[in-house]
Amino acid sequence: MRIIAGSHKGQIIQVPKALIEPTKESVKEALFNILGQDITNKSFLDLFSGSGNLGIEALSRGADQCTFVDNNRMCAEMIAKNLSRLKLEGKILGQDAFRFIKNSHTPFDYIFADPPYHGNLSESLLVSLSESPLLCPTSLIVVEHLAQKTIENIPSSLYCVDQRVYGITSLSFYTPRSPHSVNGK
């Protein structure tokens, strides 16, 4: 796994073997092409971060800061090693993403989540985020999930602004609804 662009372009990101399935490079590249240069000097939250692949890419592309959250100790250690080797700074929390959401109060500009594909974690995650102070009016939530599995029961306080499909993977983009929105948008 390599960093695609930015100050650390071409550098290798170590991935815990047989432990996780990191976001494919083609999906990562598509995501950051969609986000463009807008991540410069912004805050980034990488939930279910696994290898830290996306958060590290964001830092390489100029994100001001990144918080990595994963409850697997081996993943958290691998992220720490990758950040140290690349001389990048980030906050690494080895805890459950839902616990982090419940106990955190600092909003983020970008929230990326790649929960395990089994179960309805994506829906539960959106509910938890919608009820938390992690969102500001301009926050963008990106959820990676199986393309064949539609995320239903989206909280009324969130709006799906885009959805992209890359093979079996889908990226769904959500923003907080404006309190003064017309027709809920």
Contacts by 37-44, CB closer than 8 A, 24 or more apart? 37/62, 39/63, 39/109, 39/110, 42/109, 42/110, 43/67, 43/106, 43/107, 43/108, 43/109, 43/110, 44/108, 44/109, 44/110, 44/111, 44/112
**Residue with the larger pLDDT of the pair 149 and 156:** 156
Tell me the domains of the chain and their CATH numbers.
25-176 (3.40.50.150)
CA atoms within 13 A on the CB side of 164: 16
The pLDDT value given to residue 149: 85
pLDDT number for residue 20: 64
pLDDT mean across residues, the chain: 90
Cβ pair 98, 72 in contact under 8 A = no
How many contiguous H segments (helices) and E segments (strands) does the chain have?
Answer: 5, 7
- The predicted pLDDT at position 180 comes to 45
Q: What digits encode the pLDDT tens for the residues 40-95?
A: 999 999 999 998 999 999 999 999 999 999 999 999 999 999 999 999 999 999 99
pLDDT higher than 80, residue 22: no
